[in-house]
Structure 1
Amino acid sequence: MSIVDNIFSQQFRALAIKEFREVWRDRRALMIALGFTLLFPAIMIGSGALSFKVVSETNLNIAVIGSDYAPLLEKQLHGSGFQIDQLREGIPRELLEDKYDAVLQIGKEFESDYHRLLSPKIYLYIDGSSKSGGRGIQLIQERLGTLQKTIMQQRLSARGIAPQILAPWQLQVRDVSTPSSRGLAILGIMVPVLLIMALMVCSSAPSIDTSAGERERMSIETLLQQPLTGRQIIVAKVLAVTSIGWSGSLLSLAVLTLSFALLPLAEIGVQFSAGIIELVAMSLLLLPLALLVAVLQILLALRSQSFKDAQIQLSILQGLPVALLMIVNLSDIKLDSPTWQLIPLIGQQQWLSLLMAGEAISVSLALVGSLVTLSLVGLCILVGARALSRESLLGAN
């Protein structure tokens, strides 16, 4: 019997309908899929939007001790982003523990040393363990650095010295990145990892139930007694598991796309450039990977000793691809060669990153890479069919 006849046979259609019904009637699997695809992206986007709002809108409380000795410094700090309180005395550590983000202390000798053209010291106290400590010291240094440069130029000019003598050159930084390229650097890392995680998580529960679960319920014996080949059984199970895994990743993609409207991406110079065509292409590119994830999880669950053992093994499997992608993204590994796009998981990650930033991908490489992934799916199906013919499968539990 040919492969086409196997697929379109009445027995296979009945088996496929049975597998799809069991997968989509499993409330536990559906709750896991909905919980991850809806809550996890929403939490990520919501926390990002909230943290950006807090950083951009919250004023820093600065205590200035001894502002009478240097009123010019205290005046320089006034402006947006700062709430200045002038204090005559105080202990910096106690002030930081109270309500202040930073404490600027000016000594009594500042005025006399300043007029004698010395370099009086001022002390900036911060709490490095607080969230606002690093941001506070950066903003204060920028404000006071501008004033320091202005005073230095005035002193040199008063003595007939050109300020340019102390600055033999001027370094001007010009950022040539575009909002699209910055989106590739930020969204291109986060979104593909999240979508691949959705594939793994949403496929995990139905993969275990349709393999190790059926073996423990002894229903797989009845299935093996039917006039069905091992390939038909594995293909039906893979298609059913893929349907829920792929649907979960598409739902995550939709939630992310809608959630990006809540983030002030334009304010940080990032542009979300993916349109309808790019989103459809991302959905299609995820399908071969969804098939590969489903068949690998089913094979791993079949070789496990029990239902609980399958859960442990698949939980480990879920973390490996994510860890691999993060290592590749954070390391100095160059993925410029087109050969990398032929490797499953890495190829999909590169395509999704480019499409998320609105960039074009090579259609020929995408097709060849998808065919490589589908070839691995076919090989795994043959391995699974042989596994079903072994008597040791029924005695694994």
Structure 2
Amino acid sequence: MSFKNLFSLQMRALLLKELREVWRDRRALMITLGFTLLFPVLIISSGALSLKVMSDTSFDVAIIGAEYAPLLEEQLQTGDLRIERLQDGAPQALLADTYDVVLRIEQNFTEDYRSLLSPKIYLYVNSADQSAGRAAQLVQQQLALFQQVIVRQRLAARGLATQVLAPWQLEVRDVSTPSSRGLAIWGLMVPLLLIMALLVCSAAASIDTSAGERERMTIEVLLQQPISSWQLVVAKAVAVTSIGWFGALLSLAVLTLSLGLLPLAEIGVRFSAGINELMAISLILLPLALLVAVLQILLSLRSRSFKDAQIQLSILQALPVTLLIVLKLSNIELDSPLWQLTPLIGQQQWLSALMAGESVSVSLAIAGSLVTLSLVGLCILVGARALRRESLLGAT
């Protein structure tokens, strides 16, 4: 098989025809625009809502028997806790009403406290409520701090050093940087979004240009022209790649603009991707877009019908996402340079690093892209051979 006719007049005409058909497909364009515009906005909106909830949420705390321990009530008077004194009430009913947690202090608290006993304080919480769980954690933290103060005062009153109960002091120092924290966040979200954009945006076009043309009997007409089967596969793959790559770039643009609107500095995260990083991300996505397109075309060609092709490509869309999530959650070490030569995994590492402003090895990126392009070439040969089988061309 010779590739000397890659830029021949027939090849250019075929490529122009495939590109025109892909970009005239309204269904494919609507899917591309819908996914690339709505999905990033949905992610950013949910992130902004989470930040707002974390920063603005306050909790209602009911204290029954606060008159027996007024210092406890004073200690709990923080900006995030709204304290309300109650004379009596059933904790379960109060939790079902408007309170996040209920603190109950028994009548014998003062007497036991002065006798240096350990009076009990009951904290009622509904653990099925996520907000209530955060409120209970905050109440426990405030009470624990106050308890340490009282212990130090009692030791000092008896001439004992506070170090008796604290043989060492543990001080936690976070050595992470805004860039590394950004890497931890973008490491899964951004590659998943961009890879999903490649898969979703090119699916409709790949099905229509393969299984669709087979059912319309137009692919047989194309094979009767003076072109090779590999030329047909290349033209279709390039056309499908164009819309998939465009969808990924549009998703990247929307995501970049949306991230600039989030108050990332409040959580100590920095978004460091500049023009150079975004251009590098675009180039890294191109070989993967070609691989996705040719794989989708091969699956669509071997399917029995248009609907069968849709089912197979839906399964294909779930596989890369599932693989990346499993690798992320399983904490598998991917430090070896060989992982960067693996398609999909290598792109995931490069994309996450570039979005966080980290450097990427140019030699490994080129080598990994060449491996991906080699798989593209192999898939093109497989597709060209498949087109020569009459059994594959029969629409059912």
Q: TM-score w.r.t. structure 2 length?
A: 0.98
Q: How does 1:1-397 map to 2 (within 5 A)?
A: 2-4=2-4, 6-397=5-396
Which amino acid in the other structure matches residue 240 of structure 1?
Answer: A
- Cα distance in 1 for partners of 2:393, 2:173 equals 67
Report the secondary structure of 1:7's partner residue: coil
Which amino acid in the other structure matches residue 281 of structure 1?
Answer: A
Q: How big is each residue's C-alpha offset from its partner over 1:312-337, in whole Å with a ceiling of 9 and x where there is no partner?
A: 00000000001101111111311111
Mapped contact 1:76–1:143 kept (Cα < 8 A): yes
Report the secondary structure of 1:361's partner residue: coil
Q: How big is each residue's C-alpha offset from its partner over 1:208-267, in whole Å with a ceiling of 9 and x where there is no partner?
A: 010001011111111111111101100110000000000101111111111112222111
Which amino acid in the other structure matches residue 87 of structure 1?
Answer: L
Structure 1 residue 64, shift from structure 2 partner? 0.9
Structure 1 residue 7, shift from structure 2 partner? 2.1
- Cα distance in 1 for partners of 2:301, 2:275 equals 39
Report the secondary structure of 1:104's partner residue: strand
Structure 1 residue 378, shift from structure 2 partner? 0.6
- Cα distance in 1 for partners of 2:205, 2:278 equals 26
Give the percent of matched residue pairs that are identical in Structure 1 and Structure 2.
71
Mapped contact 2:206–2:296 kept (Cα < 8 A): yes
Number of corresponding residues: 396
Report the secondary structure of 1:86's partner residue: strand
- Cα distance in 1 for partners of 2:68, 2:335 equals 59
- Cα distance in 2 for partners of 1:82, 1:336 equals 45
Report the secondary structure of 1:3's partner residue: coil
Report the secondary structure of 1:28's partner residue: helix
Structure 1 residue 2, shift from structure 2 partner? 4.9
Mapped contact 1:156–1:163 kept (Cα < 8 A): yes
Q: TM-score w.r.t. structure 1 length?
A: 0.98
Q: Which runs of 5+ in 1 are unaligned?
A: none
- Cα distance in 1 for partners of 2:291, 2:10 equals 24
- Cα distance in 1 for partners of 2:244, 2:81 equals 49
Mapped contact 1:102–1:126 kept (Cα < 8 A): yes
Mapped contact 1:113–1:120 kept (Cα < 8 A): yes
Report the secondary structure of 2:174's partner residue: coil
- Cα distance in 2 for partners of 1:26, 1:222 equals 20
Q: How big is each residue's C-alpha offset from its partner over 1:340-366, in whole Å with a ceiling of 9 and x where there is no partner?
A: 100100010011111111011110010
Which amino acid in the other structure matches residue 328 of structure 1?
Answer: L
- Cα distance in 1 for partners of 2:93, 2:50 equals 27
- Cα distance in 2 for partners of 1:103, 1:377 equals 63
- Cα distance in 2 for partners of 1:332, 1:178 equals 20
Q: How big is each residue's C-alpha offset from its partner over 1:52-97, in whole Å with a ceiling of 9 and x where there is no partner?
A: 2022102111111111111100111112111111111111111111
- Cα distance in 1 for partners of 2:92, 2:367 equals 63
- Cα distance in 2 for partners of 1:261, 1:75 equals 41
Which amino acid in the other structure matches residue 72 of structure 1?
Answer: L
Q: Which runs of 5+ in 2 are unaligned?
A: none
The two structures, once aligned, show a CA RMSD in angstroms of 1.1
Mapped contact 1:212–1:307 kept (Cα < 8 A): yes
- Cα distance in 2 for partners of 1:216, 1:104 equals 70
- Cα distance in 2 for partners of 1:106, 1:187 equals 46
Structure 1 residue 151, shift from structure 2 partner? 0.4
- Cα distance in 2 for partners of 1:46, 1:101 equals 26
Structure 1 residue 396, shift from structure 2 partner? 4.7
Q: How big is each residue's C-alpha offset from its partner over 1:148-169, in whole Å with a ceiling of 9 and x where there is no partner?
A: 1000100011111111011111
Q: How big is each residue's C-alpha offset from its partner over 1:101-136, in whole Å with a ceiling of 9 and x where there is no partner?
A: 111111111111111111111111111111212211
Mapped contact 1:304–1:396 kept (Cα < 8 A): no
